[in-house]
Amino acid sequence: MKLAKRIDNLPPYLFAEIDKRVAEKRAQGVDVISLGIGDPVEPTPKHIIDKLAEQAENAVNHRYPSYFGMPDFRRSIAGWYKKRFNVDLNPDTEVLPLIGSKEGIAHINFAVLDAGDTTLIADPGYPVYNTGAILAGVNPVHVPLVEENDFLPDLDAIDAGTREAAKMLMLNYPNNPTSAIAGDDFFKDLIGWGAKNQVIIAHDNPYSEITFDGYVAPSFLQYPGAKEVGIEFNSLSKTYNMTGWRIGWACGNAKVIEALGRVKTNIDSGIFNAIQHAGIEALEGPQDIIKEMCDIYQKRRDLVMDALGKLGLEAREPKATIYVWVKVPGGYTSASFATHVLDSVGVIVSPGNAYGPSGEGYVRICLSVKDDRLVEALDRIRTLV
């Protein structure tokens, strides 16, 4: 049996591997605490669940949904962008619902790049930035995000040959996995750089609402010229504790949105309408969940930062996201430290190098675990360091 050659270069998906390791350890009787996957443990708000149940009973929603998403859901997304970021979006041409933003991030490579083309990806970055390019036969070039530059890409350091070859740049702020944030000047420079070099900017913004200490995250699209050079991905997953619902969107440049929509309509049949109705309820209904979750995550962030300080482990205090990016102790690599923590005390942390070469020397701790389990995990790690 012969398989596709593209699979040869495709690494195992990080979080699938974490799931597998958790299952193996639990089968051995180990009480595993996973700080590896950003999956909120708090439930989806009841009013959203109620809307799903109501609409699931409606037989009209049992048929194929619109390939391009329900018009009402697209209008709801556009309305949320206007209210939240003061961004004007045409819901018919500049908004495309997705079965979770992950699939759109993978499919964008097929929509705007040809096999052999070059795309630039943030390093470290969400693994699908890299694997989506590999699946499309595209050449992913890593753009380092290093602490000395506040985990922002040094666009001027990209050599002329790479700039000329590149057709897209994929990145996200607030950032996964480093939790770095980007300011107005960075986004304005990014837009200017994309326009000058004819590079599509694909900005991934699923953590825009998970912020701390008064920080308010921007949208890439709120800056002048953004829609001329790119698009933004977003999702209901982290904002409304809806990771399992698989609902998100891409929005921005109409030409790129149309191309992505053409790919999607040939591959999938859209999002179950009842889930889209629930998405409208999330965006337009009570928003109390956002502050509640920010308060919860900020408390957990403070627990982690306090523990790391006592352990002598270095990490920048995050202003956003549900992650803490931690330097590993001397004598360890990212992978060896993550393995040591799992094998010794049954705690999962994500090795930084799994997010790209520049992630070496770090591990990612996720805050999406109940407070008591987080404290226990930190106590266990304390016995090792």
pLDDT in tens, 90-110: 999 999 999 999 999 999 999
pLDDT at residue 24 in the model? 86
Average pLDDT value for the chain: 96
Tokens coding 172: 């996200």
pLDDT at residue 52 in the model? 98
State phi, psi for 40 to the nearest 5 degrees.
Answer: -55, 135
Query: Is the model's pLDDT at 4 over the cut of 80?
Result: yes
Query: Is the model's pLDDT at 13 over the cut of 80?
Result: no
pLDDT at residue 7 in the model? 78
Neighbours of 309 (CB within 10 A): 12
pLDDT at residue 26 in the model? 83
Closest CA to 315 of 179, 155, 140, 172: 179
Query: Is the model's pLDDT at 14 over the cut of 80?
Result: no
Tokens coding 168: 């897209």
Give yes or no on whether 5-43+288-382 and 48-284 have one common fold: no
- Residues of the chain with pLDDT > 70, as a percent, come to 99
Confidence class for position 146, pLDDT limits 50, 70, 90: very high
pLDDT at residue 3 in the model? 82
H/E element, 327: strand 323-327
- What's the whole-number mean pLDDT along residues 215-222? 98
pLDDT at residue 104 in the model? 98
Q: What is the largest CA-CA distance in the chain?
A: 61
What residues contact 331, with CB distance under 8 A and at least 6 apart? none
CATH 3.10.450.350 fits 5-43+288-382, yes or no: no
Query: Is the model's pLDDT at 128 over the cut of 90?
Result: yes
Collapsing DSSP states into helix, strand and coil, what is residue 44? Answer: coil
Between 2-16, 272-286, 293-307, the lowest mean confidence (pLDDT) is in 2-16
If phi > 0 it is left, if psi is from -120 to 50 it is alpha, else beta; for residue 140 that is: beta
Look at domain 48-284 and name its CATH class. Answer: alpha beta
Structural domain spans, the chain: 5-43+288-382, 48-284
- What's the whole-number mean pLDDT along residues 246-264? 98
Query: Is the model's pLDDT at 8 over the cut of 90?
Result: no
